[in-house]
Amino acid sequence: MLRRSQENWYRNFQPAYLRLSEEEFEERIERAYDLIKQCRLCPRNCKVKRLQGQRGFCRTARRPVISSWGPHFGEERPLVGHGGSGTIFFTHCNLGCIFCQNYSISHLGDGEETTVEKLASIMLELQTMGCHNINLVTPTHQVPMIIEALYKASKGGLNLPVVYNCGGYESVETLRLLDGIVDIYMPDIKYADPDIAERLSFARDYPDVVKRAVKEMHAQVGDLIINTDGIAERGLLVRHLVLPEGLAGTKEIMEFLVREISPDTYVNIMDQYYPCYKAPEYPPLNRRITRKEYIEAIEVAKSCGIKRIDGLTV
């Protein structure tokens, strides 16, 4: 694991997007908006004309929609540091998880439509507050607006790494627009079984899609780089939420990471599942996971060869 001194981090670190020329940034913005003319921004390929105000699965048109923002101290340790992770929670989602723990935002639409200029000013505000990064939570369906806002914020002095905090249901075409813009990819890998993915997230192709997406992410940024102060600067960080009765397919997912990504993949195996939104209607999701189920998931990850596990409490 590569580590670098934090002593002059803010002076020496340069996020990927600051290396793009103005012409390249503007081209990325144009290409991103082209993707939502008849939307194919994510694997759902709704084909709705978002620039004309139409809304597909994600219920989002042309403007950014934001629920909240601020320093977050409940994220992974390499993101939080002492100043917190500068989270921006985007409203709606391109997945339909029936157990979403942020369902008021993703399903109920808690948030307000705003402007790209306001989104850029939020990024700069989070930097002024001392956050270590800009953490884009559920960004997939708002990529064009995010790229444009980052461009504007970079011209205003933004110099923090960008975290792409997503559900893993990503188009490789869209991810390639983010190459050289995103510093840290943080996808969920939710399921290994297409039947479960269809039942719980209305996305039967999720297992294949997320594997292609994570391969592309890792090809862009590599393994997670953490400096000597414990702050992540660049790389891949994978989240995996343990579900009751092994519904998440932990073993297959960890084997995939070791075999096809890297045995040095940084993984957060999360134990915070609890039944909310429609989960009580879908046993066994109508209960929390047990301590035994969580310990078993950790042991499975270790046995598969995963060596970097965040927040290990067992």
pLDDT in tens, 74-98: 999 999 999 999 999 999 999 999 9
Please say if the pLDDT value at position 118 is more than 80: yes
Please say if the pLDDT value at position 141 is more than 70: yes
Of the candidates 271, 274, 273, 275, the one whose C-alpha atom is nearest the C-alpha of residue 310 is 271
> Can you give the CATH number for the domain in which 87 is found?
3.20.20.70
Is position 203 within any domain?
yes
**pLDDT tens sequence across 262-293:** 999 999 999 999 999 999 999 999 999 999 99
**pLDDT tens sequence across 21-77:** 999 999 999 999 999 999 999 999 999 999 999 999 999 999 999 999 999 999 999
pLDDT number for residue 228: 87
Is position 4 within any domain?
no
Please say if the pLDDT value at position 313 is more than 90: no
Q: How confident is the model at residue 116 (pLDDT cuts 50, 70, 90)?
A: very high
Taking the C-alpha atoms of residue 178 and residue 217, their distance in angstroms, rounded to an integer, is 9
The SS3 call for residue 238 is strand
pLDDT-above-70 percentage for the chain = 95
Please say if the pLDDT value at position 3 is more than 80: no
Can you spell out the DSSP letters for 99-140? T-TTHHHHTT--SEE--HHHHHHHHHHHHHTT-SSEEEES-G
Is position 58 within any domain?
no
- Using CA atoms, how far residue 190 sits from 99, 240, 271, 294, in Å, is 12, 6, 13, 15
Is position 234 within any domain?
yes
Is position 3 within any domain?
no
pLDDT number for residue 12: 72
Counted domains in the chain: 1
Taking the C-alpha atoms of residue 15 and residue 111, their distance in angstroms, rounded to an integer, is 28
128: number of Cβ within 10 Å: 10
Is position 10 within any domain?
no
Q: How confident is the model at residue 11 (pLDDT cuts 50, 70, 90)?
A: low
User: What average pLDDT does this structure show over 143-155?
Assistant: 98
pLDDT number for residue 13: 77
Of the candidates 39, 245, 23, the one whose C-alpha atom is nearest the C-alpha of residue 142 is 39
Can you spell out the DSSP letters for 59-104? ---SS-EEEEEEEESSS-HHHHTTT-EEEEEESS-SS--TT-TTHH
Contacts (Cβ under 8 Å, ≥6 apart) of 42: 58, 94, 140, 141, 169, 170, 171, 174
Please say if the pLDDT value at position 9 is more than 60: no
pTM: 0.95
Taking the C-alpha atoms of residue 69 and residue 176, their distance in angstroms, rounded to an integer, is 26
Is position 288 within any domain?
yes
Q: Containing domain of residue 185, as a range?
A: 25-35+64-309
Q: How confident is the model at residue 220 (pLDDT cuts 50, 70, 90)?
A: very high
Please say if the pLDDT value at position 314 is more than 70: no
Q: Please, is 36 exposed, middle or buried when counting C-beta atoms within 10 Å of its C-beta (0-12, 13-18, 19+)?
A: buried
**pLDDT tens sequence across 156-193:** 999 999 999 999 999 999 999 999 999 999 999 999 99
Lowest mean pLDDT among 2-11, 160-169, 239-248, 265-274: 2-11
Is position 44 within any domain?
no
What six digits make up the tokens of 91? Answer: 């409203």
Q: Average model confidence (pLDDT) for the chain?
A: 95
